[in-house]
Structure 1
C-alpha cells in the first residue's frame, strides 16, 4: 500500500470514528526527524462558528503535563539541587499519610513512577471544585443534588497535603512495590519544583522548558497566551433520555494546586517540539533541555503498569509495539483528550488532540503510527494475547463492585456466560479472559487489559484498571 492510499484510508477511518463519538474537533500531527510529515484537522475548534482547526490550535493536553513535570525534576537533578532518590519529606516536611513511617520512606522516584503506595483519592475533585461550580448546566442538571457540596475546595499545595494527611485510607503497599496512578503525587512534585527552584511551578516550566523549546503557544492559563485567538472551544457530553448530547461547555477547569498533574495548554506543533526532547536525547533543534542520561532515566521501564506496558518518569513505555519501543502518554479531562507517541528507533513522533473528553485520540494516533509507518492494518492491536476459556463458577469469582477514592465506580457482573463491567457514562463492556486473573477489553476502540488482585487469603480485593488500583467494596454493608 502506497503512502497516498494509506493516508486516504486513515482519514476515512478517522472520519468514521470521530463521527461515532460525536467529536467536535480533532487535530493530529506526525513528525519524522523533527519535521512535520503529516498533519490534519478534523471538524472544528468552534462547531457553532465553523472555525477550522490547525496544528497551531490550542487545546488542553491533560496528563501529558506529567512528562513536563518529570522533565523539570530531572533538570533540577542535573543542577544538583535535588536527586530523585531524596525523600519527599526533605522538601515537604509537612507531607503525611495515615502510615507516617511509610510516608517518610517515599522518595521523588516513587512519586515520579506512581509507586508511593498512595491510592486514588478525591484530591483532584477538590482542586477543580471552584472551576466545576462554574460549568454551564444542561437540561435538568440544575435540579440534581450536587455531589461537590460534600467536598472541600483545595487551592494550595498546603491544602493538598492537609487533605491527604486527614483522609482515611490504607496505603497500597511499601513504597516502590505497587503501581497506582497518582495525580496527588505529581501535584506535590510541582510543590517540590517550586520550593527547590524558588519559583512558582508554572514560571519554572515556562522559563526552563517551554520557552527554550520554542513552545510559544503553550502555558497553564489562557490569559498567558497574550491574546492568542486560535483556541479550541471545550465541549462536554451528557446522557438524556438514553441519548448522548454533546454541548458547548467552554469553562476550562483549573486547579492551581495540581497544575503539575495535568493542566498544560498547548498545540500540535508545540507538543511535537516537546517530543523532540525524548526522541533526540534531550535536544530540541540545537537547544539542550535535558541530558541524554536524564532522558534515559525518563524512558526506563521502572515498573509494570499494565499488560505489556511499563511506567518511566511521566511516560509509559511499551517495549514491543510491533517490534519497536514505543514511548507515550495520554491525557483526559473535561473538554480534552490527548495522546503523545514517540518511536525513537524510527525517529517518529506524534500528537493528537480533541476538544471533548472521551474522544478516541489514543486509538487514532496509534492507528496512524501502525498503518502509515509500520505497514499494519488500520485497526491492528499491538497486544499479543490469547483468550482462554473460564467456566461460570470461575467467572463469578470476579463479580463485585470496585470504587476508587476519586469516585470511579466499576461493577463487574456475569451475563450469558461472559464477564462485563458497568462504568458510569459508558456502555457496558464485555471482558475476555486471558489467564492469570487478567482480562482483555476494548475502550474507545483501544484494546486494553485489566487485572484482578488477590489478598493473602487468595480473595479478590482490588482491580488494576485504567492504571489505578481500585478496592472492592463489601456490598453487604
Structure 2
C-alpha cells in the first residue's frame, strides 16, 4: 500500500509535503464568487482525461472515482468513473457521495471566520474565554491557546488519535480529556497535525452559535452553496440512493476488498463530511472567489484569504523537486507546484481518499473523490491536469509515485 507518514485524518500521507459516467461539458453553476470581466484565454481541452483516468484507476486498482475541474467560476470537466459498489456493479456518478475526510477542516476554519465577521469570536483571544472547560496539560497553552492555534496545528499538542478513534466519547468528553494529554513540543514551537484540536475548534463554533457545528455549517455554508446532498455521517450517506462503498487493498496480495463504514462523529469538525463532486465543485469555486455565493457574502474576503495564508512551516522536504516547501494555513496546506502557488488538502479515512487542490493565481481547482484508501491517483490526476492546463512539459507522475512506493516498501 502507498504508505502515509503524516496525519491527514488519521495519518497525513507522505506526498507534497488516493467506465465513465456523465457527459463532457462546461457546466455553469449558480455564481458562488466574484466573477471577473477580464477575458480568459481558451483553456486546453481535458478530453484526454476520459482515457487517462481509467488507466490510472486500473493501474492502482481504484474501484470508483469522481472528478470536477473548475476554472473562472465554471465547471469545465466533470465525470464519474468506475464503480461505487463492486458487488452490485453500481456505477459512480457526479452525484455519488464519498467521504471527504480532512477536507472537512476547511469548513471548520470558514465557520470560525464567519463568527469572527459577526463579532462573536476573535481569532486571537484565548479559547478559555469562550469555553472555560477547554484546558491543556501545558499551563502555558491553557492560558494562551487561541482559535487561530486550534485550526493551524501549532499548539505543540501530540496527535493522541487513539483517544477518539474507536471510542464512544462525545466531543464534550474529548475536550475535557485534553487536560490529561501531554504534548511533544513547546506551545507554538512548530507543526503538529492534530484532529482533536480541530474538533475542539468545531466544538467552539457550536458553543458560540448555539445549535452545534453541523447545524452551523448547514445553515451558513451548505445552504448558500446549494450543497443539499452533503451530510456529516456515513450513516446518513447509506440512507441515500447514490453513495460509494469503502475499499482497501491488501498490502501483500493487492486484492481490493470492501471494508466497513466507519463513523467519526465525535471528531466530526476534523473530518466527517460526505459530499459529491457537483457540490464540492461549488465549494471549490467559493474558495477561489471572494467569500460569496452569488450576492450573499458567506465569509469576508479577508477571513477567507487568512485561511489560505501560511501559519506554520510543516517541516521536512517535499518528495518531489516540483513541489515547494509546505506550510500549514487554517485547514489548508500552502505550497507551490512547479512555481505556481498551490493550496490543497487531502482526506483519508477508512476506505476513502479525496483531494481538493487549487492554483489560486490561475483560478483553477481540481476535486477528486475515490473509494480506495492509501493510493495516489488523485494527486497523479491533479498534477497531470495542472501540467496540461499550464502547458508545461508532462511528467509521468504515476511512475514517480510508483518509485516512491517501492522506496517506502524497501525502507
Mapped to 2, the partners of 1:92 and 1:365 lie a distance apart of: 43
**1:164-313 → structure 2 map (5 Å cutoff):** 164-167=178-181, 169-175=182-188, 177-222=189-234, 224=236, 227-239=239-251, 242-249=252-259, 251-306=260-315, 307=317, 308-313=325-330
Distance apart, 1:174 and its partner CA? 2.4
Larger relative strand fraction: 1
Distance apart, 1:429 and its partner CA? 1.4
Work out whether residues 17 and 360 of structure 1, in 8 Å CA contact, stay in contact via their aligned partners in 2.
no
1:84 is matched with 123
Query: Considering only CA atoms, is the larger Rg found in Structure 1 or Structure 2?
Result: 1
SS at match of 1:31: strand
Mapped to 1, the partners of 2:44 and 2:241 lie a distance apart of: 34
SS at match of 1:73: helix
The gaps in structure 1 that reach 5 residues or longer are 130-152, 382-419, 432-440, 442-477
In structure 2, relative to structure 1, the CA distance for the partners of 1:428 and 1:289 (3 Å cut) is same
Work out whether residues 316 and 327 of structure 1, in 8 Å CA contact, stay in contact via their aligned partners in 2.
yes
TM-score normalised by L of structure 2: 0.80
Work out whether residues 205 and 213 of structure 2, in 8 Å CA contact, stay in contact via their aligned partners in 1.
yes
1:322 is aligned, of 338, 345, 349, to 338
Mapped to 2, the partners of 1:156 and 1:315 lie a distance apart of: 26
Q: Matched residue pairs, number? A: 356
Distance apart, 1:256 and its partner CA? 2.4
2:113 is matched with 74
**1:44-443 → structure 2 map (5 Å cutoff):** 44-122=83-161, 125-129=162-166, 153-167=167-181, 169-175=182-188, 177-222=189-234, 224=236, 227-239=239-251, 242-249=252-259, 251-306=260-315, 307=317, 308-318=325-335, 320-379=336-395, 429=408
- The C-alpha deviation readout for 1:113-163, integer Å capped at 9, x for no partner, is 1101111213xx44341xxxxxxxxxxxxxxxxxxxxxxx24212321343
In structure 2, relative to structure 1, the CA distance for the partners of 1:181 and 1:237 (3 Å cut) is same
Work out whether residues 34 and 272 of structure 1, in 8 Å CA contact, stay in contact via their aligned partners in 2.
no
SS at match of 1:243: coil
SS at match of 1:327: strand
TM-score normalised by L of structure 1: 0.69
Mapped to 2, the partners of 1:429 and 1:222 lie a distance apart of: 31
SS at match of 1:369: helix
2:21 is matched with none
Which has the higher mean CA deviation after the structures are superposed, 350-359 or 100-109?
Answer: 100-109
Mapped to 2, the partners of 1:192 and 1:311 lie a distance apart of: 21
- The C-alpha deviation readout for 1:269-291, integer Å capped at 9, x for no partner, is 11111112221111233332111
Mapped to 2, the partners of 1:69 and 1:343 lie a distance apart of: 21
Q: Which has the higher contact order (CA 8 A, sep 6+)?
A: 2
Distance apart, 1:427 and its partner CA? 5.8
1:40 is matched with 79
Distance apart, 1:24 and its partner CA? 0.8
Work out whether residues 67 and 313 of structure 1, in 8 Å CA contact, stay in contact via their aligned partners in 2.
yes
2:16 is matched with none
Distance apart, 1:368 and its partner CA? 3.6
The gaps in structure 2 that reach 5 residues or longer are 1-42, 318-324, 398-402
SS at match of 2:76: strand
Work out whether residues 43 and 52 of structure 1, in 8 Å CA contact, stay in contact via their aligned partners in 2.
yes
Distance apart, 1:238 and its partner CA? 3.3
Distance apart, 1:94 and its partner CA? 2.3
Mapped to 2, the partners of 1:291 and 1:370 lie a distance apart of: 28
Q: Report the aligned-residue RMSD.
A: 2.5
1:21 is matched with 60
1:413 is matched with none
